[in-house]
Structure 1
Amino acid sequence: MASILIKNGVVVDTEPEPVVLGRADVRIEHGRIADVGPGLADVPGAEVIDATGMIVLPGFVDTHRHTWQAAVRAVAPDITFPEYLRRVLDEIAPRYRPRDMYAGTLAGALECLDSGITTLLDWNHAQFSPGHTDAAVRALHDSGIRAVFGYCQSGEPSDLRSQAHRVREELFAAPGLVTMVIAALGPEIAGEKRALEEWRVAAELGLPVTAHLGGHGPDSATRGLAFLEANGLLDTPTTFVHALHYTDEQFERIAAAGGGVSVSPVDEMNLGLGYPITGRARAAGVPAGLSADTVVCAPGDMFAQMRTAHLLERGRPDGAGLGFTTRDALRMATIEGARVIGLGDVVGSLRPGKQADLVLMRTGTPGMAAAHDPIAAIVLNADTACVDTVLVAGRAVKRGGQLLRYDLATVLTSLIETAGTVVKG
């Protein structure tokens, strides 16, 4: 339906800063937000969604998730990072067939939609063949989520350029909900030579880069950043994932180059990577988004990420994080995260003209009722069970608390079959 009118909800916007607009309506035309305000006039022929008793807000943005790992949820909840690399990436990942890639990515994307995450950066580092890549992209399209697909060449480095061009030309020739980014392994993981090729290919294709940078110790962070700067690679928009070991001065250099950071507060603590740099990066002017990273050892919803970021920042030993608020956490989960992955003008707020990616959350529950501050309730009290309705580009993917389009039992059966195949011993 071309026109949708969401009426009588408590509306929360996030741009330029999170604010409660109060009881208001949202009008959607052809998949885009057309107007926001109280008592909007009825539109002949429009679908009307009654949001009485609900909070209406922009959909959440996950800036870095290994979506294919939905089939290995909680397989290693109490491990360190080296053990994660060995168990998950060295042992389990190579057992994935293209059909397993499809099953894991589809289920992981639907998990996101179910919890109100409408935009996802899928950082896929298990693309062992063109078939794996094609299956992952097809799953994202089929799910109905808005996604940025992180192409990471898992074969020979010499194949990177040809395969990246193939993926761009064959899988992303037409505009749609799923777009592409280069997910780089260099310079800190796979070396500087690899990084030069990855950033060169990104520049050729006009794509941003997302890379795990700064998470492997201070010396590695310093060398890697200096290498990127010396080779002019930061002229390409770059997201720094797990940027844990940069100094404040280095964050200022990243900000000056236009970089962003993706923070995974649960995993960074659970895997022993380091204390999240939420406040330090933002204080230096670096936009920061939130990330679930992996459900191998962390929850997959944005509520857990917001709560953990809020708790850890305010609980910094030096007391410097006490200025961090629930509004800051919500901003990171929406408009700031959208800016980190290059979609700040597309999603993340209710600005008219943006894509209508929205979440309607129930407040008529014991855990949400009588909340004096809706933003605080979203961050501190809500969970996936509160997510009643989810729209992506004005199309409902969840209504009445139920995911649409898919027979969820069939999806989960395929996921469980994959889990039994890839997890052994």
Structure 2
Amino acid sequence: MLLLKNAHVVPGDGAPELLATDVLVRDGEIAAVAPNLAAPGAEVIDATGQVLIPGFVDTHRHVWQAPLRGIGPDLTLPGYFEVVLGRALSAYRPEDTHLAVRLGAAEALDAGITTVLDWNNTSHAEAVADAYQSLGMRAVIASDQPRADLTGTLSAALAILGPEYGPADEAEALLRRARDLGILVTMHIGGGRTPSAVSRMDEAGLLGPGVHLVHLNSVTADEAKLLADTGAGVTVTPLVEELMGHGVSAYGRLADAGCRPALGVDVVVNSVPDLFEVMRATLRAERTRAVPSASAPMLPAARMLEAATVDGARALGLSDRIGTIAVGKRADLVLLEGLTHLAGSADCAGAAVTSLRPSDVDTVIVDGRVVKRSGRLVDVDLAALRASAADLGRRALGAPAAR
């Protein structure tokens, strides 16, 4: 058992923040949320002055690219296809994939991301799963050959090119296959300045729960309404979309139509490996998109925390398990430092969005297991892991290894 004492709890999904509250975790599940809990024999974490939030859910990341971080500040999408998917990906061996995913997962956990949808382009399925299991991270591993044997904190999804990047009939067949298998299907769509295929998919009866669409920069208001009405999951990755010239983020259009867009890091070749800056980028864009008024007040900063937690869980079909702090949910939890002067008296959800960063992540818990404690990952030396992956990044790009 694990007992977190005296935290300022942000349950999520619009629920009121709870002052000086305890959270009891038993067998990986949240067993109680209340003040002054007693649990003889439990490990106790004193969370006084800290803010407890649900673990972040990154709903779209190509995790294997972690060793390539920062190599493409000026990459356009065609350049990305050539350099990253063309040159670097072909250089990866199974052991390289294991190291790369382990690094990417560790960086995510360090930043408070407890769940990731890994849109995995490699063909090394066993190495990918082993990397996540070694760190205890929750992951939805999306590939073109989803594994049926994943259990515990790992699950599978079908990753497809979709009707904009491949034959439409092939995409339709794969979508129907995923529906028959009962697994999530995820694809990139509308990530440019040409019309998206959302309307065509709707006409073919292919939208709905279990379908996850990423980017959607070119989505129209009518298409956004279709997505909301059918219950499809949607994700935006605003930092990468802006830096690579995909176009303006669709977050506002999707939200206006009734969708609950989730957030993703996407790639770290030109972006950060955490959701703090993604939340802020989305918030800035929304607050400059429309002038606040009495009838349309300024978007609350706390809304972005929901986008990065419970909305991510919804987009992946996991909201019955994660995304909020509630009895019966799995214990994916994050303790934040830096707001001691506010804890117990203010909007800590909004403050976490606007004012914190990965270094303020003190403790991370996944499925009831502490994976980061007092600001340091428990089972991995992140600096050493980055050093081990450095030569992989150089070799994958055709550069000489360091001497």
Q: Would you say 1:338 and 2:313 are equivalent positions?
A: yes
Question: Secondary structure of 2:177's partner?
Answer: helix
In the alignment, the residues of structure 2 paired with residue 383 and residue 114 of structure 1 have an alpha-carbon distance, to the nearest angstrom, of: 11
Give the letter for the 1:335 counterpart.
V
How many residues matched?
397
Rounded Cα–Cα distance in structure 1 between residues aligned with 2:269 and 2:297: 31
Q: Shift in Å at residue 18 of structure 1?
A: 5.1
CA distance, structure 2, for counterparts of residue 295 and residue 364 of structure 1: 28
Distance between the aligned counterparts of 1:86 and 1:137, measured in 2?
27
Distance in 1 of aligned mates of 2:348 and 2:26: 26
Q: 2:164 aligns with which of 185, 188, 212?
A: 188
* 3-state SS, counterpart of residue 19 of structure 1: coil
Q: Given residue 352 of structure 2, which amino acid in structure 1 is its aligned partner? A: I
Within the alignment, does 1:105 sit opposite 2:81 as a pair? no
CA contact (8 A) 1:313 1:322 kept: no
Aligned counterpart, 1:282:
255
Classify 1:322/1:423 alpha carbon distance in 2 versus 1 (closer, same or farther; 3 Å).
Answer: farther
Q: Contact 2:65–2:269 (CA<8 Å) still a contact in 1?
A: yes
Aligned to 1:4: 2
Q: What is the TM-score when the length of structure 1 is the normalising length?
A: 0.88
Mapped to 2, the partners of 1:322 and 1:296 lie a distance apart of: 36
SS of the residue corresponding to residue 390 of structure 1 reads strand
How far the C-alpha of 1:317 sits from its partner, in A, is 5.9
Check whether the contact 2:334–2:363 (CA below 8 A) recurs between aligned residues: yes
> What is the match of residue 39 of structure 1?
36
The answer to whether residue 281 in structure 2 is matched with residue 308 in structure 1 is yes
Equivalence for 2:385:
411
Kindly provide the amino acid, as one letter, of the partner of residue 126 in structure 2.
D
1:261 aligns with 2:228: no
Within 2, Cα distance between the matches of 1:324 and 1:218? Answer: 29
Give, as a single letter, the amino acid of the residue that structure 2 aligns with 1:189: Y
Query: Which residue identity is paired with 1:116?
Result: G
**Deviation for aligned residue 1:217:** 3.0
Which secondary structure does the structure 1 equivalent of 2:247 belong to? coil
In structure 2, runs of 5+ residues without a counterpart are: none
CA contact (8 A) 2:118 2:142 kept: yes
Within the candidate set 327, 330, 348, 1:352 is matched to 327
CA gap 1:330/1:342 in 2 versus in 1, 3 angstroms: same
Matched, 1:13 2:29: no
Shift of 1:199: 1.2
Alignment of 1:137 onto 2:129 = yes
With over 3 angstroms needed to count, the CA separation of the structure-2 counterparts of 1:318 and 1:244, relative to structure 1, is: farther
Residue range with higher mean Cα deviation, 410-419 or 3-12: 410-419
| CA contact 2:8–2:344 (8 Å) conserved in 1 | no
Q: Name the aligned partner's letter for residue 304 of structure 2.
A: A
Deviates more, 1:208-217 or 1:317-326: 317-326
Equivalent pair of 1:209/1:236 in contact (CA under 8 Å): no
Return the offset for 1:325: 1.5
Of 64-73 and 355-364, more deviation after overlay is shown by 355-364
For residue 179 of structure 1, the aligned residue among 137, 140, 155 is 155
Name stretches of at least 5 consecutive residues in structure 1 with no aligned partner.
153-162
User: What secondary structure does 2:9 align onto?
Assistant: strand
Residues 365 and 78 (structure 1), Cα distance of their counterparts in 2 relative to 1, 3 Å cut? farther
Once the two structures are superposed, residues 255-290 of structure 1 have per-residue CA deviations (whole angstroms, 9 ceiling, x without a partner) of 111112101111111111111111221121112101
Are the equivalent residues in 2 in contact too, given 1:60–1:116 (CA < 8 A)?
yes
2:371 is aligned, of 384, 390, 397, to 397
User: Aligned equivalents of 1:352 and 1:309: distance in 2?
Assistant: 30
> Aligned partners of 2:193, 2:74: CA distance in 1, in Å?
21
* C-alpha contact (below 8 Å) 1:218/1:246 kept by paired residues: no
Matches within 5 A, 1:364-379: 372-379=346-353
Secondary structure of the residue that 2:207 maps to in structure 1?
helix
Partner of 1:342, secondary structure, is coil
| Alignment-mate amino acid for residue 316 of structure 1 | R
Which 10-residue stretch deviates more, 107-116 or 283-292? 283-292
Q: Is the 8 A contact 1:390 1:399 kept in 2?
A: yes
Aligned-pair CA distance for 1:202 = 1.0
State how far apart, in whole Å, the 2-side matches of 1:31 and 1:184 are.
32
| Equivalent pair of 2:364/2:373 in contact (CA under 8 Å) | yes
- 2:86 maps to which residue? 90
Residue matched to 2:71 = 75
> Relative to structure 1, is the Cα distance of residues 287 and 376 closer, same or farther in structure 2, using a 3 angstrom cutoff?
closer
The structural deviation recorded for 1:371 is: 8.8
* Residue in structure 1 matching 2:338, options 357, 363, 366: 363
